[in-house]
Amino acid sequence: MGLNCFIANNKFIIFTARNFSISIMKKILVANRGEIALRVMKSAREMGIATVAVFSEADRNSPHVRYADEAVCIGPAASKESYLRGDKIVEVAKLLGVDGIHPGYGFLSENAAFAKLVEQNGITFIGPTPEAIEVMGNKLAAKEAAKKFDTPMVPGSEGAITDVVLAKQLSDGIGYPVLIKAAAGGGGKGMRVVERSEDLEEQMQRAQSEALSAFGDGSVFIEKYVGSPKHIEVQVLGDNYGNIVYLFERECSVQRRHQKVVEEAPSSCLTPEKRKAIGEAAVRVAQSCAYIGAGTVEFLVDEQLNFYFLEMNTRLQVEHPVTEMITGVDLVKEQIKVARGEKLSFTQQDLEIRGHAVEIRVYAEDPMNNFLPDIGKLQQYKKPEGPGIRVDDGFEEGMDIPIYYDPMLAKLIAYGKDRTEAIARMIRAIHDYKIVGVKNTLAFCEFVLKHEDFVSGKFDTNFVAKHFKPEYLKQSNEDEMEIAALLAGYLSDKPSAKKASSAKPKQAEEGRSIWAKKRGTYRD
Ligand code: MV4
């Protein structure tokens, strides 16, 4: 163990003590399920690392259990009794001689106490330090840390605000509308828009009591409300030696009630200058908590392209594949390498954007019925394939979709030389995807991808609320049936003479970029 210091922005940072020697990582336990458990185990296997799966009674027949070298049942279906049982997971890890635990996303991934417990038991937590998780887990602490590193913030209160009179003075000064947010919140929970000075007192009291009952912490803060923002996040990666790089941004504005629907990289609204500025701001946020591993810094971007720090996610994110596709970096591999004490093998100058990637999340939900989660048997399941297509999933044909967990069935990722090609490949892949037995969001995603405001890049976080109506899908279903009927008639008259197009994927050019050093694992 040792202390490490470095100078950034004329500020002297002292790292908390961490193990600076290269540690051996022969066996990794993945404290998760579904697609992300598989995703992590694939990279581990490529690195010659053995894998341990943990699973609940509902997941006995899951692919992640079969894929792992060893698998242990840790409890009943309910997450609280299985995937959230950090104590049991550490017990299993010790029993099986595990060197590192990867938490995936959700479940225990941003639980500082779990990260601490893992390390206290002599096992490497494949993620940031408990201190970084803790600071960024509290929105106010996160803002305070980031502010010291010259991070642009939405105008608002300094810290928690309890006094209504002060809150009113401040809000009158900022100008309405303002937004009241819970310090312990996140993902949009406990937010309240206040349109007029007269409404402030009532809304603030409501926000405080809501926050108290939801998070056990009633502190709130106030920000100017940005009306039509884009949600842009930056992927960062830090090592134990003070090196932090950014792997560009992901555009995540297309979301429905704080659930992301379509993500892409890069964002089509940024200029190279803005991209550099937002990337460097993200690195400073990561520096503010001496970040180690893969993390994501979220920003709000307004219509004038001003960007403001929102929060930092101290985990690997669902949408990480789009970043992998455009940079050629395997983020899970880098997480493992950093966790075992290696220096980052590339610098900021080595990184560049190649092409464009789009991801859609396929949920087992019914978009025609207010996105009601659907469960049942996957009677037919056939994935799309072909140039530029990647599917990260955790289910197979014949499997039951359990009710206990997140309804995400799969992530479909399309890569192309540019945005137009990526979108065209995505629409083709949606058509080639066959999911029978469970209602899903494929048609909804197709609606988004074909919408002129999505195609032109003129969209913000209001896109779905503004444009989507369930009737549109009914209409398109009818259209498709009509087309199918017409086609059937046509085909019965004349035999089809369909030509298959076979566009060859472009070979990666040699250069000084990271593409020359590493092969993009998932490209084509
Ligand atoms: C905002 C905002 C407008 N103004 N803050 C929602 C989730 C949480 N992380 C922060 N969020 C927002 N904060 C100010 N000052 C609008 C949102 C917001 C939003 C942000 C990102 C993605 C989708 C969103 C949907 C609605 C509102």
pLDDT tens profile 309-339: 999 999 999 999 999 999 999 999 999 999 9
182 or 389, which is more confident? 389
> In Å, what is the CA distance from 226 to each residue of 75, 259, 279?
44, 19, 21
Closest residue (by CA) to atom 26 of ligand 1?
461
Q: How many CB atoms lie within 10 A of CB 6?
A: 15
Q: For residue 315, indicate whether it is catalytic.
A: yes
On whether the CB atoms of residues 351 and 424 are closer than 8 A, the answer is no
Ligand 1 atom with the smallest distance to the CA of 308 is 15
Mean pLDDT of 99-128: 98
> Is the model's pLDDT at 12 over the cut of 80?
no
Closest residue (by CA) to atom 14 of ligand 1?
225
pLDDT in tens, 375-420: 899 999 999 999 999 999 999 999 999 999 999 999 999 999 999 9
The pLDDT assigned to 497 comes to 35
The pLDDT assigned to 20 comes to 57
The pLDDT assigned to 475 comes to 60
> In Å, what is the CA distance from 60 to each residue of 280, 336, 515?
44, 27, 39
Look up the pTM and report it: 0.88
pLDDT band with cut points at 50, 70 and 90 for residue 7: very low
Q: State how beta strands 293-301 and 230-238 pair.
A: antiparallel
The verdict on whether omega for the bond into residue 103 sits within 30 degrees of 0, i.e. cis, is no
Of 3-7, 186-190, 282-286, least confident by mean pLDDT is 3-7
Ordered by start, the domain boundaries in the chain are: 19-128, 155-224, 361-524
pLDDT band with cut points at 50, 70 and 90 for residue 184: confident
Ligand 1 cavity residues, CB under 6 Å: 154, 179, 186-188, 223-226, 229, 231, 255, 258, 300, 310-311, 461
pLDDT in tens, 224-233: 999 999 999 9
Mean pLDDT computed over every residue of the chain? 89
The pLDDT assigned to 389 comes to 98
The pLDDT assigned to 289 comes to 98
Give the whole-number percent of the chain exceeding pLDDT 90: 80
Mean pLDDT of 20-24: 76
CA distance 339 to 294: 10
Give residue 345 CA to ligand 1 midpoint distance, Å.
Answer: 35
DSSP 254: E
The pLDDT assigned to 298 comes to 98
Listed in sequence order, the residues at least 6 apart from 418 whose beta carbon sits closer than 8 Å to its beta carbon are 355, 356
The pLDDT assigned to 80 comes to 98
CA distance 343 to 332: 15
Strands (E), 397-522: 400-401, 408-416, 434-436
Ligand 1 atom with the smallest distance to the CA of 252 is 22
AA letter at 110 = E
Catalytic residue, candidates 315, 340, 425, 523: 315
Give residue 228 CA to ligand 1 midpoint distance, Å.
Answer: 9
Strands (E), 64-132: 70-75, 100-102, 124-125
> In Å, what is the CA distance from 484 to each residue of 384, 446, 480, 487?
20, 18, 6, 5
Give residue 352 CA to ligand 1 midpoint distance, Å.
Answer: 29
> Is the model's pLDDT at 31 over the cut of 70?
yes
Q: Best mutation site among 226, 234, 459 for ligand 1, i.e. most ligand atoms within 8 A of its Cβ?
A: 226
pLDDT in tens, 446-497: 999 999 999 999 999 999 999 999 988 876 666 566 656 666 665 554 443 3
> Is the model's pLDDT at 507 over the cut of 50?
no
The pLDDT assigned to 503 comes to 32
Ligand 1 atom with the smallest distance to the CA of 227 is 3
Mean pLDDT of 172-181: 96
pLDDT band with cut points at 50, 70 and 90 for residue 523: very low
Give residue 302 CA to ligand 1 midpoint distance, Å.
Answer: 11
> In Å, what is the CA distance from 84 to each residue of 77, 122, 137, 214?
11, 20, 17, 19
Q: Best mutation site among 461, 462, 463 for ligand 1, i.e. most ligand atoms within 8 A of its Cβ?
A: 461
At the second CATH level, the architecture of 19-128 is 3-Layer(aba) Sandwich (3.40)
Which fold, 361-524? Answer: D-amino Acid Aminotransferase; Chain A, domain 1 (3.30.470)
> In Å, what is the CA distance from 302 to each residue of 5, 315, 466?
36, 26, 17
Give the whole-number percent of the chain exceeding pLDDT 70: 86
Closest residue (by CA) to atom 7 of ligand 1?
188
Give residue 297 CA to ligand 1 midpoint distance, Å.
Answer: 14
Beta bridge partners of 255: 260
Ligand 1 atom with the smallest distance to the CA of 154 is 15
Closest residue (by CA) to atom 11 of ligand 1?
188
Q: For the domain with range 155-224, which CATH number is right: 3.30.1490.20, 3.30.460.20, 2.60.40.10, 1.10.10.10?
A: 3.30.1490.20
Mean pLDDT of 255-279: 97
Give residue 248 CA to ligand 1 midpoint distance, Å.
Answer: 21
> Is the model's pLDDT at 512 over the cut of 50?
no
> Is the model's pLDDT at 1 over the cut of 50?
no
The pLDDT assigned to 484 comes to 61
Q: Best mutation site among 139, 153, 300 for ligand 1, i.e. most ligand atoms within 8 A of its Cβ?
A: 300
